[in-house]
Structure 1
Amino acid sequence: MKKAIVLILLFVSGVVMAQNEPIKVVFDVTSSNPDVHRTAAKHLRLMAEAYPDSEFEMVIYSGAYSMVDNKSSVAGETLTEMVKKDNVSIVICQQTMKRHEMSMNDLIPGVGSVPDGIYEIVMRQKEGWGYIKEAQ
């Protein structure tokens, strides 16, 4: 019995320690659906708060451009707080911005841009980042 308790404690402590190991995650958001925007922002917030030693990047492109529009974003409040965190970056594809005639002034302050959203995601994955597709 004593041996079983020790094994259980070792297993539980291993699981807890494993969840504290820093991770790197890239979130892929392309949907124009406001519900997806809210959910994606919530996921980013929860992960960044739960794992402050980890890194998170949200890449916005295609129909999701309104998610970072400073005038119409349904997730603007959450994203405004997230870009202030050292372990979070939120970027939008410059090609998407061009297609929708957006400038950096149209974005939530602190949101950056990358030349190509898909390329950004592929490069993060090549660097070993985990990948989350936010969709509905």
Structure 2
Amino acid sequence: MKKLFVLVGCLLGYIASYAQADYKVIFDITSKSVEDHNTVMRQVNGILKGSPDAQLEVAVYGDALDMVLKDKSKITPALTELLNNKKVSVKVCGATMKRNNKNASELIPGVEVVPDAIYEIITKQREGWGYIKVAH
């Protein structure tokens, strides 16, 4: 009986550790609204408080471009702090940047460029990531 309890305890510990390591979410933001930019920061930080090992990504495209531009972002300090966490990435759509005549040197340091944000989202979903659209 004692061996059974040990086995069940080990199994539960394994399941709990696997579930936490497998917490992956991609956020989709296209809004120009600073309120929405703050919302995604709040949501990401909330998940990190509850699950510090979660892997999180924010896909930025469309009208949300200003969120990641050095000279236009209203959330630079919060975004910079978030980018210091190795479990979080912020990726901006290269096609959106091209349409707006922007280049990588204009981004807040740490923001990465992907060729297409929608493709990035679909790829993450295929890999089993959860999906959250940020909007009001």
Question: TM-score normalized by structure 2?
Answer: 0.82
Does structure 1 residue 100 correspond to structure 2 residue 66?
Answer: no
Residue 90 in structure 1 maps to residue 90 in structure 2: yes
1:74 maps to what in 2? 74
CA contact (8 A) 1:45 1:78 kept: no
Q: Secondary structure at the match of 1:21?
A: helix
SS at 1:57's partner residue?
strand
The list of structure 1 runs, each at least 4 consecutive aligned residues, that deviate by more than 4 angstroms after superposition, is none
Match of 2:44?
44
Match of 1:131 in 2: 131
Where in structure 1 are there 5+ consecutive unaligned residues? 1-16
How far is 1:131 from its partner?
0.3
- Please give the alpha-carbon distance, in whole angstroms, between the structure 1 residues aligned to 2:101 and 2:48: 31
Q: Give the % identical residues.
A: 39
Matched with 2:13 is none
Counterpart in the other structure of 1:121 = 121
Coordinate RMSD, CA, aligned: 1.9
How many positions carry a matched residue from both structures?
Answer: 121
- Alpha-carbon separation, structure 1, partners of 2:36 and 2:44: 12
Q: TM-score, normalised by structure 1?
A: 0.82
Counterpart CA distance in 2 for 1:117 and 1:110 is: 16
- One-letter code aligned to 2:102: M
**Residue of structure 2 equivalent to 1:53:** 53
Counterparts of 1:47 and 1:78, CA distance in 2: 15
Partner deviation per Cα, 1:32-78 (whole Å, 9 max, x = no partner): 11110111112112222331211000000011000101112122111
Paired AA for residue 116 in structure 1: D
Following superposition, the deviation at residue 21 of structure 1 comes to: 2.1
